[in-house]
Amino acid sequence: MSTIHDEPLAYLKGLQERIITTLGALDGKPFARDAWTRDGDASSHLTGAGLTTILEDGKVFERGGVAFSDVKGTKLPPAATQRNPHLAGRPYRAMGVSLVMHPRNPHAPTAHLNVRAFATDDGEAWWFGGGYDLTPSYLYDDDSAHWHGAAKAALSMLPAGGYDKLKADCDTYFTNGHRNERRGIGGVFFDDLNEHHQVGGTYAHCFSVMRAVGDSFLEAYAPIVTRRKDTPFTEQQKRWQEWRRSRYVEFNLVWDRGTLFGLQSKGRAESILLSMPPVARWTYGEPDGVGPEERRLLDALKA
């Protein structure tokens, strides 16, 4: 089992360092580092280690986190076995990098990235997962074109129709079903990518797809934040951003399989929940002050 993870392990650690170096420089404030280990306990038998990095109250980012983890468990949690019932009760190893960045300026979008590798203890079953998606509070066509263009270019190795499938899967997955509303404007998403997946193939091919997503994230996101971080905004626009963040929280706590996997496997809650924004706002119905630009976003997000 260890052999199948040697290359992904080195890649994921390096990816985390590249991202926090670049985004820390963009903000002007370095990410704080919190290294941790897990020795297992009677309730989870989960072992492993990781590095959670966090940037709070920065000039550009109100809150952001980039987390690396490498854990082993004796029994897969329900979030995994629901789609793979034949693996119920199997020991496993899972590693990945997960990121969420919440900019201070409401004109700069929130972004999410996750890339991960999984294998059972004997290496018989393995897969890669990942993707990234963009969650703006205000819709800018040039930002959207840049974001999706970067993803499409990065995944040029996929067979015909492969990128379109992962783009459509992203829209489907990142949806608040209880509100019939997508979380954001999408990106790409894949799960359980292996030799049996529609756009999968060999281990080397699937690993290359994961790398392509991870390597293209900064190119896709950093120019957008740079373009929007100094845009003037009003207090009402800030309140609108906080209201939109509440939808982000709802998705992560109700629908996100990664969050459920981490909590069900009794992982490190502080790291699992680093995706939460520092301030979110709920109102009964729509908030006051919804104008044409806010309505344009809401119309675009209808599922």
Domain ranges in the chain are 2-300
Q: What's residue 87's pLDDT?
A: 66
Helix axes 162-173 and 141-154, enclosed angle (nearest 10): 130
Average pLDDT over residues 265-274: 77
In sequence order, the β-bridge partners of residue 176 are 181
Phi/psi for 2 (5° steps) reads -65, -35
Average pLDDT over residues 105-123: 91
Q: Is the predicted pLDDT of residue 78 greater than 70, yes or no?
A: no
Among 137, 155, 165, residue whose Cα is nearest residue 62 = 137
Q: Which of 23-32, 35-44, 74-83, 274-283 shows the lowest per-residue confidence on average (mean pLDDT)? A: 74-83
Q: In this predicted model, which residue has the larger pLDDT, 191 or 99?
A: 99
Average pLDDT over residues 232-238: 97
Average pLDDT over residues 229-253: 96
Among 69, 48, 58, residue whose Cα is nearest residue 24 = 58
Q: What's residue 88's pLDDT?
A: 66
The helix or strand, by DSSP H or E, that contains position 65, with its residue range, turns out to be strand 61-73
112 catalytic residue (yes or no): yes
Instruction: For 2-300, give the CATH class.
Output: alpha beta
Q: Which of 2-6, 79-83, 138-142, 262-266 shows the lowest per-residue confidence on average (mean pLDDT)? A: 79-83
Whole-number average pLDDT of the chain = 90
The predicted-structure confidence for 171-180, as pLDDT tens digits, reads as follows: 999 999 999 9
The predicted-structure confidence for 154-210, as pLDDT tens digits, reads as follows: 999 999 999 999 999 999 999 999 999 999 999 999 988 988 787 888 999 999 999
Choose, from 5, 102, 107, 112, the residue flagged as catalytic.
Answer: 112
How many percent of the chain have pLDDT more than 90? 70
E strand map for 84-182: 92-103, 110-120, 126-135, 175-176, 181-182
